[in-house]
A and B are shown apart, each in its own frame.
Chain A
Amino acid sequence: MSTIEHQTLIAVAEDVNQGRSSALEIAEQHLERIERIDSKINAFVDVDRDQTLHSARAVDNAIAKGQRNLPLAGVPISIKDLIAVQNRPLRAGSKILGDYRPAHDATVVSKLKAAGAVIIGKVSLDEFAMGSTNESASSGPVRNPWSLDSVPGGSSGGSAAAVSAKMGLASLGTDTGGSVRLPAAFCGAVGVKPTYGRVSRSGVVAYASSLDQVGPITLNVRDAARLLSAIAGPCDHDSTSVDQPIDDWALACEQRIESMRFGVVVDWLERLQPSVADAVNQAAQALCDAGAQRVDITLEHDHLAVPAYYVIAMSEASTNLARYDGVRYGRRAQLEAGASLDQLYARSRAEGFGPEVRRRIILGTWALSSGYYDAYYDRACRVRRLVRDELTAALSHVDVLLGPTAPRTAWKIGDTQMDPLTTYQMDIFTTAANLAGLPAMSLPWGRDDQGLPIGVQLHAGPWREANLFQWGTALEAAAPSLEALPKSARDLREINCD
């Protein structure tokens, strides 16, 4: 069995399938690491050692009986606590769900189990996935493994921090406006948001239903391709999932990009932290050095994606979160005798939701209310079409667009300059993919002068995840190694995590 530091998802699955490692040993190794280091990172909100070991033994038994070629055999995977795992607490980073335990697995969790994966625990997130820092989780902030006083990004911050610190070999996050890609960028991981409809949302707590997608977070592109292959596909329980052909994404990872074209949106290179701009320029040069052709692109309406996104996301959230009423499940306020049903709802929701969730529900309700609907929600949906059409048109001329994932690297936990409005604007490069329903990927490109990882991002046309994996592998081959770089981050991570 290899040491955790050198494990990859694909190699572990191969070793377990061939009997060179056991799922049980791998699970014990990762559980031991969680016990040892997670008190410093705070990524996990639920670890059930007995259940994890039981699942691992079941995988080993299946293999002993002749089962082979399980694509995720014995791979320990954490699950964002927005996704249902049967009979395990599901809190969505909120107090309002109390001790809710779902009766079923989410479809993606069923698919992981069928593929031989071992669920190693549930991981933290911003409350109801509303945030970019993982500071609003009811279980407290998650720390970035590369710099423990910095945020891991959000909202899938627990997922990215866990993967980066090698507590599990992969994680499932969700991405409504960048919530897989941003934390992947901040933690030096690979994060993929699939095409809308590629992955079932059944069993996933809804934030903004027309934007949400589940996506993998891993330490390399090939692992992400393997994991996405295992969870993709239509689902009878999600009428927005789509039966589209699933390409051989492992094969896509091996295809060359020579004489193919990629786009760079020139506006995206403005107002970036200098080291992020350098990273994108170096990545573009690396693609050219590999024989690809660069095409500079201008998008007229791209700057409107973030405000349109926030109107739509908050509006959809205000209706989706109406279900938390303190009656059918979750936390109920203690009321004086004679209190009305309306008071029960209003008090339970006031006590159960945190400040950012209350803010978004109230603003979303306002944007949908009489007198403001046309000026805000309806207008945002029209701008959404402009953004979608423009981005899709650009992607009809090139295979992928290359740009930054975020304008900067991770900031400090509790940074008072990062007020809600400033934080919303950190989503400037990620929300367009959600508005348009397009696939996108963040992958690491070195670190800044503080030792913090930098993410670069690829966008592709609808259902063309293969392009992300093809170009992502090319970038990964050329990227500065996170581990080989000098100075603080690697040392810090090893000191704190080993």
Chain B
Amino acid sequence: MRPLGVTILAILGFIGVIGCFAVAGIFAVFGQYIPPGELGEAAPLVSLLMTVGSFVFVVIGLVNLVIAYGLWKGASWAWWIYLILLALGIVSSLFMLPQGGVGMTQGIIGIIINGIIIYYITRPHVKEYFGV
């Protein structure tokens, strides 16, 4: 049986996917309506940049979708990828600490959230569900 926490994490993942696709959509739509105005010759390039940005969000969304699906199904590879991404999140939060101010606060929050999730997914019953 799937642990409740894993279900919540997978659902949050699916919500993230919707968010990524929504941002991709916004980028794609706005990319089509860049007025030449002051940008002149650069306007088509700004439009292209928005399209590339939209594509990037689609890719991130698809990666999130695969991971969320893997968590939902209890795939061991999903557990590994999720664990490493959380660890990467902690390391990048550590990099924010020396900035001070808002960056430091964001870093601390990032370390706490990622740390709690790592603690949870490394509990024996969760690892057993993923077969790791």
Do these two chains really belong together in a complex? Answer: no
Chain B contact residues, CB within 8 Å of chain A: none
Interface positions of A (Cβ within 8 A of B): none
